Structure 1
Amino acid sequence: MREWLIDQLKIPERTVLKKKVPKKAFFTQADLSPSEKELFSSEIEGFYLLSLMNQQSINIPAYITEEIHYTEVIWIYVQLRKTSNSSRIVKSIHRAMPNPIVLIAESPDRQLLLSTCHKRLNKNDITKIVADEPVLTEWFDPADQSSAYIKLAEAISIPNLSFESLFAFYQDIHNWLQAAVLIKQIGTLPSSPDNLDKINHMLSQITKVNLLNINSGAIW
């Protein structure tokens, strides 16, 4: 599956690591609670550094401001033994690592989930980061070529992303994953993440109309 992703996303060979990280090594570097360590030990089958992208490996400039320090984007691949706590595991990994991460999780039945999470420096302690709320897609079957998620994989393939800076590069992926959240509601991937606000507004209006219809029916 990892080889399929590297090929599907057109990840440049010079950035590919495919390095398995022992969970104990991750524990020593990450700030995890005892319950998180127990969860990782029991529910993660394998933890891999899939790719490391920085100015040297992919020729995309770093992006550094007072709040944002994006000098590299890390692609992580995690094999799970079960999916019941997948959201918690994904959030913990994002929070534990200071760099922006594209996280790919694989379920026992070979379904995939993608996640991104923007991070900024803590104003009170610049050695620490503050993580935004992660974006997670639904689980999907990469073998289903008719799936809208195959279009998502095409949208976030490396040649289709901005090379202006590592922030713009990561923001492109983040925007597309936000757009993919709508697949469950509209049945397809929006043609552009630029349409996200418009689509969300339309869905909000539809929800309001449905609620009014339900309430109207309840009255009668």
Structure 2
Amino acid sequence: MREWLINRLQIPQRTVLNRKIPKKAFFTQTDLSTTEKELFTSDIEGMHLISVMNQQSMNIPSFQDDEFNYSEVVWIYVDLRITKNINKIASAIHKAIPNPVVLVAGSSEGRILLSTSHKRLNKNDKAKVVVDQTAITDWFNPREENTAYSNLLNALIVSNLSFENLHSFYEDIHLWIICEELIQLIGTIPTNSVKREEVVNILINVQKHCKDVEQLQLEQKGQIDFGNKMELHIKIKQQEQQINLHLQQIRELC
């Protein structure tokens, strides 16, 4: 799968390492909790450093400001024995590696998922980073053609990404991975990066309304008074109407 994915995303050969990362070495060089180490031992079959992309290998300028210091983007592939703890494993990998990581996880059934997370400089210690919220896709079959997921992989072909600087390059990947949620919601993704910017902004509103619905539903379950239940029911319907309106806006953009 690793070689297939390298070819599918047209990762430049000059950046490809495809080198095994011993889990023991990963433990000794990173700050993982005991629970995270146990997950790596029980759930992960193997880890590989697929590619290191920097100014020398990709001719993309590094990027540094008060928030970010991006001199390399690393691609990690993880073969999983068990997939149920992938969110915890992805978070641990992003936390452990100071460079921005494009994480690809593979299952024994031949499915993959993708994950990214921006790394901001720690304001109190510039030698450390703070990990932003992790973006992670659902599992999908990458070999299926003419699907929304094949369109996602097309968008992630390296030559289709921004080469302005390494932060823009990584942000391009990150935003496409965020857009994957739309495949589950409406069955498609934007056709280009220009429309994607507007779509992501609307998607953030959808996510907010979805959280509001979840909170209202929890409140409703705890209510005994019928009048209060009906009031919460009306509020839930109002939030759902907003979700549907936003999804319709997204459909028109896609």
Q: Deviations over 1:62-109 (max 9, x none)?
A: 001122110000000000001110100000000111000000000121
CA RMSD of aligned residues (A): 2.2
The residue type paired with residue 102 of structure 1 is V
Q: Distance in 1 between matches of 2:42 and 2:24?
A: 12
Alignment gaps of 5+ in structure 2: 214-233, 241-254
The alpha-carbon deviation at position 202 of structure 1 amounts to: 6.6
Q: Which residue matches 1:173? A: 173
Describe the SS at the equivalent of 2:175: helix
Q: Deviations over 1:176-199 (max 9, x none)?
A: 111112110111122242222235
The alpha-carbon deviation at position 25 of structure 1 amounts to: 0.7
- 1:212 corresponds to 2:237: yes
Q: Is the 8 A contact 1:118 1:132 kept in 2?
A: yes
Q: Is the 8 A contact 1:190 1:196 kept in 2?
A: no
Q: Distance in 1 between matches of 2:209 and 2:125?
A: 42
Describe the SS at the equivalent of 2:185: helix
Q: Distance in 1 between matches of 2:236 and 2:190?
A: 25
Q: Which residue matches 1:136? A: 136
With a CA cutoff of 8 Å and minimum separation of 6, indicate the structure with the bigger relative contact order. Answer: 1
* TM-score when normalising by structure 2: 0.79
Describe the SS at the equivalent of 1:60: coil
Q: Which residue matches 1:29? A: 29
The alpha-carbon deviation at position 142 of structure 1 amounts to: 1.1
Q: Which residue matches 1:218? A: none
The alpha-carbon deviation at position 34 of structure 1 amounts to: 1.1
Q: Which residue matches 1:19? A: 19
- After TM superposition, the structure 1 stretch with the greater mean CA deviation from structure 2, 98-107 or 201-210, is 201-210
Higher Cα Rg, which structure: 2
Q: Distance in 2 between matches of 1:214 and 1:158?
A: 38
Q: Which residue matches 2:163? A: 163
Alignment gaps of 5+ in structure 1: 216-220
The alpha-carbon deviation at position 211 of structure 1 amounts to: 3.9
- After TM superposition, the structure 1 stretch with the greater mean CA deviation from structure 2, 55-64 or 144-153, is 144-153
Whose helix fraction is larger, Structure 1's or Structure 2's? 2
The residue type paired with residue 160 of structure 1 is N
Relative to structure 1, the CA distance from residue 186 to residue 120 in structure 2 (aligned partners, 3 Å threshold; closer, same or farther) is same
Q: Is the 8 A contact 1:45 1:80 kept in 2?
A: yes
Aligned residues: 215
